[in-house]
């Protein structure tokens, strides 16, 4: 059996690095009535980082955003992405991604929209009408999109360097600043909008994608759909009374505490947990979630066809297809969860 006392201490250090008394008391309270160390570890590994820490991370993001809002000489939209937005981060001191999205242009699913109306010439429902109107009014951007994003990146760099002593502009896809008062990092990312066919048809802003600007390549990469992923995780976790997020945090903590390297990202772990039928766990006791997770990981690791068909939360990417090394890392994670499940039994 693993040394769960040591593992508990590791989680407490991650979740409460400043040893705040209030956070410690909240943690103790969450373990009320739990006697066995293994059950305490599982409970803590599923818990949310205390809002005292999370709010500092959000405040650091808002501070950086305020500087940019005041001083940028062009119109941009600001959004956040990442695990903090779903409260599935597992460190008290977590960073956050602040997106600065140009308003000058947007990429679109024009070819898909045009093909859609060509295939539905006699449809007059609301969705089809919206797409037809959009195609009929579409105008192509005649500016230099990559240069626009380059100028926004340079402007972001100039402003942030004037306000933050620690400001790393060497990364191709983001500018990392450190708020020394709040002890938090913020990654500022330059991006542009992508109007997907779902967005064009009227399904809402969560269906808008983004292209990330890469300064080194002077190109935009994507599209990604972070807002759809955030919304889906938040919605399903509400439906399961927080259990989806508990499972995501649990796997992240297991990966972090494992004696072997497990090269799976939060993106991968989100997809694994989201793919589990919510009806199978929406009323489950927290210790039963370990069995449900192990069963999912085992089936994926033993069934190549199932693993190859697993998609990201937003449904746009295959997680394990054509990636045997990632499957090996999945098996390592499955083995770590199996050991905990075995200790619970």
Residues of the chain with CATH 3.30.460: 53-224
pLDDT score recorded for residue 2: 83
Q: What length is written for the chain?
A: 345
Question: Comparing C-alpha atoms, which of 261, 274, 260, 340 is closest to residue 88?
Answer: 274
Cα of 275 vs its chain's centroid, Å: 15
pLDDT score recorded for residue 124: 86
End-to-end CA gap in the chain: 12
CB 274 within 8 A of CB 324: no
Give the domain 53-224 fold.
Beta Polymerase; domain 2 (3.30.460)
Each residue's pLDDT expressed in tens, for the chain with a length of 345 residues: 789 999 999 999 999 999 999 999 999 899 998 989 999 999 999 999 999 999 999 999 999 999 999 999 999 999 999 999 999 999 999 999 999 999 999 999 999 999 999 998 888 899 999 999 999 999 999 999 999 999 999 999 999 999 999 999 999 999 999 999 999 999 999 999 999 999 999 999 999 999 999 999 999 999 999 999 999 999 999 999 999 999 999 999 999 999 999 999 999 999 999 999 999 999 999 999 999 999 999 999 999 999 999 999 999 999 999 899 999 999 999 999 999 999 998
Tell me the whole-structure pTM to 2 decimals: 0.96
pLDDT score recorded for residue 174: 98
Cα of 227 vs its chain's centroid, Å: 9
82-109 burial, b at 16+ Cβ within 10 Å, e below that, comes to bbbbbbbbbbbbbbbbbbbbbebbbbbb
Q: Is the dihedral of CA 197, 244, 28, 339 positive or negative?
A: negative
Question: Comparing C-alpha atoms, which of 228, 235, 230, 335 is closest to residue 278?
Answer: 235
pLDDT score recorded for residue 121: 85
Question: Comparing C-alpha atoms, which of 96, 98, 14, 4 is closest to residue 50?
Answer: 14
pLDDT score recorded for residue 181: 97
Tokens read off for 200: 């064009």
């Amino acid at each position: 059996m693993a040394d769960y006392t040591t593992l508990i201490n590791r989680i407490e250090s991650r979740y409460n690095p400043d040893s705040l008394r209030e956070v410690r008391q909240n943690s103790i309270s969450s373990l009320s009535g739990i006697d066995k160390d293994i059950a305490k570890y599982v409970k803590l590994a599923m818990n949310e980082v205390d809002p005292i820490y999370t709010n500092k991370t959000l405040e650091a993001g808002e501070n950086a955003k305020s500087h940019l809002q005041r001083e940028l000489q062009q119109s941009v939209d600001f959004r956040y992405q990442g695990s903090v937005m779903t409260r599935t981060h597992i460190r008290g001191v977590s960073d956050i991604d602040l997106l600065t999205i140009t308003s000058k242009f947007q990429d679109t699913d024009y070819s898909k929209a045009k093909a859609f109306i060509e295939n539905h010439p006699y449809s007059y429902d609301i969705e089809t009408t919206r797409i037809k109107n959009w195609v009929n009014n579409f105008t192509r951007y005649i500016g230099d999109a990559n240069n626009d994003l380059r100028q926004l990146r340079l402007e972001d760099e100039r402003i942030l360097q004037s306000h933050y002593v620690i400001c790393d502009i060497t990364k191709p896809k983001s500018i990392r600043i450190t708020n020394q008062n709040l002890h938090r990092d913020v990654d500022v990312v330059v991006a542009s909008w992508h109007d997907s066919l779902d967005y064009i048809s009227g399904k809402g802003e969560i269906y808008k994608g983004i292209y990330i600007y890469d300064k080194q390549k002077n190109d935009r990469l994507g599209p990604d759909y972070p807002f759809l992923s955030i919304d889906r995780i938040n919605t399903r976790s509400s439906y399961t009374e927080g259990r989806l997020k508990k499972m995501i945090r649990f796997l992240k903590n297991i990966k972090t505490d494992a004696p072997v390297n497990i090269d799976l990202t939060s993106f991968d772990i989100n997809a694994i947990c989201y793919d589990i039928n919510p009806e199978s766990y929406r009323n489950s006791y927290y210790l039963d979630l370990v069995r449900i997770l192990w069963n999912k990981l085992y089936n994926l690791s033993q069934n190549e066809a199932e693993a190859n068909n697993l998609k990201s939360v937003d449904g746009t990417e295959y997680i394990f297809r054509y990636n045997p090394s990632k499957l090996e890392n999945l098996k390592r994670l499955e083995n770590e969860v199996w050991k905990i499940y075995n200790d619970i039994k």
